[in-house]
Structure 1
Amino acid sequence: MNQPIRFSGGRPADAEGHDLTDVMSQVARGDKQAFSALYDALAPLVFGIVVKVVRDRAQSEEVAQEVMIDLWRQAARYRSDAGSVRTWAATIAHRRAVDRVRSAQAAADREHAQAAREHATAYDDVTEQVETRLESEQVRRCLRGLTELQRQAVTLAYYQGLTYREVAEALRTPLPTIKTRMRDGLIRLRDCMGVTT
């Protein structure tokens, strides 16, 4: 049943002179020879329709093969009062071809969206690193504007995690003095950094 599609130039006679409606009813009963005749009669038509929509020969051959398999599987659904076998086959071929194009477009859209997300993520990472570096430089610059005691107290408290009491002990300075210097230093840092409350 899975014969390779043969594409000759010109339109073949309807299944070697047989009426395609009769051939289709034989195919519906599982007659493989009838399907072979149907295949020969319809494969060029099916391929022609598919290639006009899909525009890629390799994919068109694949889709045309799928259509021919559909015709085999769905033969019992064919109704002669709804149209000719050629029209029915052409409709199935067109639908399959459009589905393939839509599927390919959806896949391309997903790839583009993923690439855009990856680009945005990379951009965001770089932006975040630059902002962090700029903020760090600004903090260092602002720390240089503090008195020596303020700078030491703030550094010990915020960068080394010491409590006010531990800072006072480390700097051998009374606790109230440390608290005052820390408060004044933080106000100066806030003003220097442009932080509004």
Structure 2
Amino acid sequence: MGEVSFLRPERRRSRTEAASADVLGDLLRRVARGDEQAFESLYDAVVGPVYGVVLRVLRDPAQSEEVVQEVLVEVWRQAPRYDPSRGTARGWVLTVAHRRAVDRVRSAQASTDREDKVASRDTARPFDVVSEEVEHRLETEQVRRALDVLTDLQRESVELAYFGGYTHRQVSDILGVPLGTVKTRLRDGLIRLRDEMGVVA
């Protein structure tokens, strides 16, 4: 009887996950070189998890399907930018998916905001509407600039946890890093954001 049959379930699982991560990383490296067959295999391996991440953000199956296609096109184009030293291939792909989904939400919200502004132009207090809009834009720009001071790893964790609504455990799973690492990135990222935005603790 071989040694493998005596492995505890969690050890077998961790070895399987490691092998799977290696396979995805190898596929992504081949995709970066323009290997279409590797892309088909990668597509089959990640399309389900990508759809799950996108649907969680958008909550609309039809829109989610559209965004999944955009994500996979972006994965094909951006594969050379994947750096295995900064996380797993699965984590990288799911981060791309989450960002695309958030972009779609922001775009839809911006469109809704524009429509609301047009509808509210005839309100009795137009000055308040304009001042609120300016204030909102300034705050949004301040947050965007503040996020730019974070490292890529901190920004990924912060975006997933605070803009995507994921738990620390889910962020850990998506990025393929230990839970303790995620908590450290979030803590350090939030401290830097606070300092950058001049928030008094």
TM-score by length of 2: 0.50
The answer for the alignment partner of 2:90 in structure 1 is 86
The answer to whether structure 1 residue 76 and structure 2 residue 80 are counterparts is yes
- Determine the C-alpha separation between the residues in 2 that align with 1:51 and 1:60: 5
Gaps of 5+ in 1: 1-12, 121-197
1:86-131 deviations in whole A, cap 9, x for unaligned?
A: 10011111111111101101100100111122567xxxxxxxxxxx
Structure 2: gaps spanning 5 or more residues: 1-16, 125-201
Q: Deviations over 1:153-186 (max 9, x none)?
A: xxxxxxxxxxxxxxxxxxxxxxxxxxxxxxxxxx
- CA shift for structure 1 position 67: 0.5
Seen in structure 2, the aligned counterparts of structure 1 residues 107 and 17 have a Cα distance that, compared at 3 Å, is closer
Q: Decide which structure has greater helix share.
A: 2
Q: For residue 75 of structure 1, what is the amino acid of its counterpart?
A: A
- Counting only pairs closer than 5 Å after superposition, residues 15-164 of structure 1 correspond to structure 2 as 19-117=23-121
1:25 and 1:67 map into 2 onto residues whose CA distance is 17
Residue 37 of structure 1 aligns to a residue whose secondary structure is helix
Q: Rg larger in 1 or in 2? A: 1
Q: How many residues align?
A: 108
TM-score of the superposition, structure 1-length normalised?
0.51
Q: Deviations over 1:43-73 (max 9, x none)?
A: 1111100000011111111111101001000
One-letter amino acid of the counterpart of residue 77, structure 1: R
Distance of 1:59 and 1:118 partners within structure 2: 33
Counterpart residue type for residue 68 of structure 1: L
Query: How far does residue 17 in structure 1 lie from its aligned partner after superposition?
Result: 9.9
Q: Which amino acid aligns with 2:94?
A: A
Percent of residue pairs bearing the same amino acid type:
55
SS of alignment partner, residue 120 of structure 2:
helix
Matches of 1:71 and 1:17, distance apart in 2: 16
Question: 4+ residue stretches of structure 1 with deviation over 3 A?
Answer: none
Q: What residue identity is the alignment partner of 2:87? A: G
Residue number in structure 1 paired with 2:142: none
Distance 1:119 1:84 in 2: 52
Separation in 1, partners of 2:21, 2:88: 15
CA distance in 1, matches of 2:109, 2:95: 21
1:134 corresponds in structure 2 to none
